[in-house]
């Protein structure tokens, strides 16, 4: 034998233990995406917020002057509750983290998230108790502070990347928050008034409102993709939901009938998707796109022929009025935002919670997720894959249809051509940004709703940025979020793949 091996019997095998589950670790490949992305944004932020800061100050209205007196008691109760909860969660977080010694891997994900939420509630309640109605910030100093923090965070991320460590997620979170603060101050300070100001409460409340159809749409997507069917037809479901709600509510003079009709219409769109893609194995994406085009054409045709001819008889649905939840709506700032909603808005909260609990804590959800991950495995334990898919897709359609009714029963009082305006696609992005999780999708939809609302608020007060650019904001954010911030997320393995037995 003329050759030898340079391996000197090493290799440090992990012993004779086939049951050992550890993976061979060692130096990791660290992407420069975070480092470079944050650096570019930090530089942009420095130029805009610091060097181009306007001479004026920026005002942020906190509460509407009208209801300050009514809610003192609610404010105090909230303050105390938020204090107790945030202290409790913070303590729990601290104990879990230091107790095990192995870092925050053992802290359940909900603890940090809920702690942050409780602290925010605490701050807002404190503002409410102190009866602060407006905060005014000087754009120059605030801009500089933001710029310095952004640069520091970007530098830290670059340093970590160079040391072959991944950037922790809190860096991204803090960066995004500071960037947002800097951006708001900068853009508001460039408003046309002498003392430009916007209502922060109104901004956020509007975001929730605008997010409603997105949330319903993305929940529809979650239900479908988790079971292995890609639902591109969300746009069509929203649109047909809106149309049916308008027509049925007008004809029956009953908005609730309109709501039900919207759900049925969404389910009908899903029925086509389900039959064609599950039974006849046509490519799901193509079916979805075709459905969207079909429904856009169909509703436009019916609108321009029938609805415009007889708007009073066919296109004058009533309005689902906002309903206040007693006491909860009295909570300063949060109350009016969360608990001054229409029926559709409350349905949204219920749907998010029900879908989340259903998917992750029930027998039904376990089966649904199994079908979306490994349909054959589900089949071998006696689950009817295609039936499960079929019903889930129908359910998803119904939910998206209810989301569509929001357009005609809550936000505008009549149907108009293509009024869903691509929100079905944004819902799809929210679904991916939210990592196929109902709560994630909800939060992502809120973010997109925020961008949407900010855009219109800024256009009203006037800004140095051309309004066309501002109108791009929600979509630019979508691209950015889905491409850059999602990180490594794993869609359901069998999503988009039809199941053929055998």
Q: Which positions lie near other proteins, rule CB under 8 A?
A: 1-7, 9, 11-21, 23-30, 361-364, 366-367, 369-370, 373-374, 376-384, 490, 493, 501-502
Give me the least distance between CB of 277 and other proteins, in Å please. 22
Give me the least distance between CB of 111 and other proteins, in Å please. 19
What does the CA dihedral 188, 189, 194, 199 come to, rounded to 10 degrees? 30
CA distance between the termini of the chain? 50
- Measured from the CB atom, the residue of 3 and 66 that comes closer to other proteins is 3
- Measured from the CB atom, the residue of 109 and 501 that comes closer to other proteins is 501
Strands 197-199 and 134-138: unpaired
Task: Return d(Cα 441, Cα 166) in angstroms, integer.
Answer: 25
**DSSP labels for 122-181?**
HHHHHHHHTT--EEEEEHHHHHHHHHHHHHHHHHHHHHHHHTT-PPPHHHHHHHHHHHHH
- Measured from the CB atom, the residue of 139 and 386 that comes closer to other proteins is 386
- Measured from the CB atom, the residue of 379 and 413 that comes closer to other proteins is 379
Name the nearest CA neighbour of 232 among 426, 449, 447, 368: 426
Task: Return d(Cα 21, Cα 462) in angstroms, integer.
Answer: 59
- Measured from the CB atom, the residue of 190 and 367 that comes closer to other proteins is 367
Give me the least distance between CB of 316 and other proteins, in Å please. 41
Give me the least distance between CB of 378 and other proteins, in Å please. 7
- Measured from the CB atom, the residue of 109 and 363 that comes closer to other proteins is 363
Task: Return d(Cα 110, Cα 104) in angstroms, integer.
Answer: 12
Give me the least distance between CB of 5 and other proteins, in Å please. 5
Give me the least distance between CB of 93 and other proteins, in Å please. 22
- Measured from the CB atom, the residue of 55 and 502 that comes closer to other proteins is 502
- Measured from the CB atom, the residue of 192 and 489 that comes closer to other proteins is 489
Give me the least distance between CB of 32 and other proteins, in Å please. 14
The number of residues in the chain equals: 502
* CA 98-103-106 angle, 5° bins: 90
- Measured from the CB atom, the residue of 388 and 453 that comes closer to other proteins is 388
| Inter-CA distances, 111 with 97, 354, 411, Å | 11, 21, 35
What residues contact 411, with CB distance under 8 A and at least 6 apart? 209
Give me the least distance between CB of 160 and other proteins, in Å please. 14
Alpha helices in 419-492 (DSSP H): 423-433, 438-461, 467-480
Say if residues 312 and 254 touch (Cβ distance below 8 Å).
no
Give me the least distance between CB of 4 and other proteins, in Å please. 7
């Amino acid at each position: 034998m003329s050759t030898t091996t340079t391996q000197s019997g090493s290799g440090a095998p992990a012993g004779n233990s086939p049951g050992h589950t550890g993976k061979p670790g060692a130096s990791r490949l660290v992407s420069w995406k975070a480092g470079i992305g944050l650096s570019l944004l930090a530089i942009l932020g420095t130029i805009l917020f610091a060097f181009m800061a306007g001479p004026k100050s920026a005002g942020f209205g906190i509460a509407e002057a009208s209801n300050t007196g009514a809610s003192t008691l609610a404010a105090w109760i909230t303050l105390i509750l938020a204090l107790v909860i945030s202290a409790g969660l913070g303590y729990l977080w601290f104990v879990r983290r230091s107790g095990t010694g192995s870092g925050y891997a053992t802290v359940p994900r909900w603890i940090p998230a809920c702690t942050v939420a409780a602290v925010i509630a605490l701050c807002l309640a404190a503002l409410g108790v102190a009866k602060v109605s407006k905060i005014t910030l000087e754009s120059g100093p605030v801009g500089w502070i933001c710029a310095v923090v952004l640069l520091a965070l970007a530098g830290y991320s670059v340093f970590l990347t160079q040391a072959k460590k991944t950037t922790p997620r809190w860096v991204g979170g803090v960066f995004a928050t500071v960037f947002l603060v800097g951006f708001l101050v900068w853009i508001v300070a460039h408003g046309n008034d002498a003392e430009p100001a916007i209502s922060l409460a109104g901004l956020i409340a509007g975001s929730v409102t605008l997010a409603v159809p997105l949330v319903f749409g993305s929940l529809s997507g979650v239900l479908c993709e988790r079971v292995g069917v890609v639902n591109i037809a969300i746009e069509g479901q929203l649109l047909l939901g809106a149309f049916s709600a308008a027509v049925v509510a007008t004809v029956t003079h009953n908005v609730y009938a309109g709501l039900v009709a919207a759900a049925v219409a969404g389910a009908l769109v899903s029925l086509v998707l389900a039959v064609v893609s599950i039974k006849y194995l046509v490519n799901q994406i193509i079916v979805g796109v075709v459905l969207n085009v079909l429904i856009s054409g169909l509703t436009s045709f019916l609108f321009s022929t029938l609805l415009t001819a007889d708007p009073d008889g066919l296109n004058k649905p009533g309005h689902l009025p906002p309903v206040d939840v007693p006491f909860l709506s009295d909570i300063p700032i949060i109350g009016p935002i969360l608990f001054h909603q229409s029926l559709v808005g409350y349905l949204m909260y219920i749907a998010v919670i029900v879908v989340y609990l259903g998917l992750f804590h029930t027998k039904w959800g376990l089966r649904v997720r199994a079908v979306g991950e490994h349909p054959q495995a589900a089949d071998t334990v006696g689950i009817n894959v295609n039936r499960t898919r079929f019903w889930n897709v129908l359910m998803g359609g119904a939910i998206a249809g209810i989301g569509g009714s929001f357009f005609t029963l809550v936000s505008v009082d009549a149907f108009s051509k293509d009024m869903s305006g691509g929100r079905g696609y944004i819902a799809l992005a929210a679904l991916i940004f939210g990592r196929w999780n109902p709560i994630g999708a909800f939060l992502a939809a809120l973010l997109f709703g925020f961008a949407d609302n900010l855009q219109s608020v800024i256009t009203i007060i006037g800004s140095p940025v051309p309004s066309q650019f501002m109108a791009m904001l929600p979509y630019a954010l979508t691209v950015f979020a889905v491409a850059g911030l999602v990180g490594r997320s794993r869609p359901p393995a069998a999503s988009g793949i039809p199941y053929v037995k055998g």
